[in-house]
Amino acid sequence: MDMSRRVIPALSLETLPRRHHATVAAIDWAQLAAPEARRLRELGFDEGVDVEVLHRATLGRGPIACRIGRMTVALRRAVAGAIHVQLDALPAK
């Protein structure tokens, strides 16, 4: 295994712990279907936007409810996984 190319696993909206403020670092648009990508843009997802995971549905692999700006949006984990985020600071509370 080439150790030098190993990168620190980046945090995505899927893996971001609940109630931690984070900033969208990059969105992997290519990973998303076109209508999905457009809806995501329309809901305001963009680099530099402040996000936070509020809830994860049902044990298992249900969708995620996250706060973006002052709005709450539900999305599936696959989409959340395409949204790379950077942890802001300490836990929100």
Partner 1 sequence: MHAAPLVALVGNPNAGKSALFNALTGARQKVGNYPGVTVERHAGRFVLDDGRPVELVDLPGAYSLEPSSPDERVTRDVVTGAGDYERLPDALLVVVDAANLDNHLRFAMQLIALGLPVVVALNMVDLAERDGLTLDAGVLARELGVPVIPTVAVRKRGLDELRAALTGAVGGGGVKLLRPSDGSIDDDIVTLQRRARALSAAATVSETAGRRWSHALDAVALHPVLGPLLLLALLFVMFQAVFSWSEAPVGWIENGFAAIEGRVAGAMPDGWLRSLLTDGVIAGVGAVVVFLPQILILFFFILILEQTGYMVRAAFLMDRLMAHVGLSGRAFIPLLSSFACAVPGIMSTRTIEDEKDRLTTILIAPLMTCSARLPVYTIVIGAFIPATKVGGVIGLQGLVLFGLYVMGILGAFVAALVLRRTVTKGESSGFMMEMPKYQWPRLADVVLGLRSRAAVFLKRAGTTIALTTIVLWALLSFPQAPKDGGVSQVDYSIAGRIANGLEVAVRPIGFNRDIALALIPAMAAREVAVAAIGTVYAIDDTESGRGQGAMIRQLQSRWTLPTALAFLMWFVFAPQCISTIAVTRRETNGWKWPLFMVGYLFAAAYVMAGITYWLALAAGL
Report if residue 89 touches partner 1, rule: CB under 8 A.
no
22 DSSP β-pair partners: 51, 87
DSSP E strands, 1-93: 11-12, 22-27, 50-56, 64-68, 71-75, 83-87
Among 53, 73, 83, 85, binds partner 1 (CB under 8 A): 73
Q: What is the CA radius of gyration of the chain?
A: 13
Among 11, 25, 54, 87, binds partner 1 (CB under 8 A): 54
Report if residue 91 touches partner 1, rule: CB under 8 A.
no
Binding site for partner 1 (CB under 8 A): 33, 35-36, 38-44, 46, 49, 54-63, 65, 69-76, 78-79
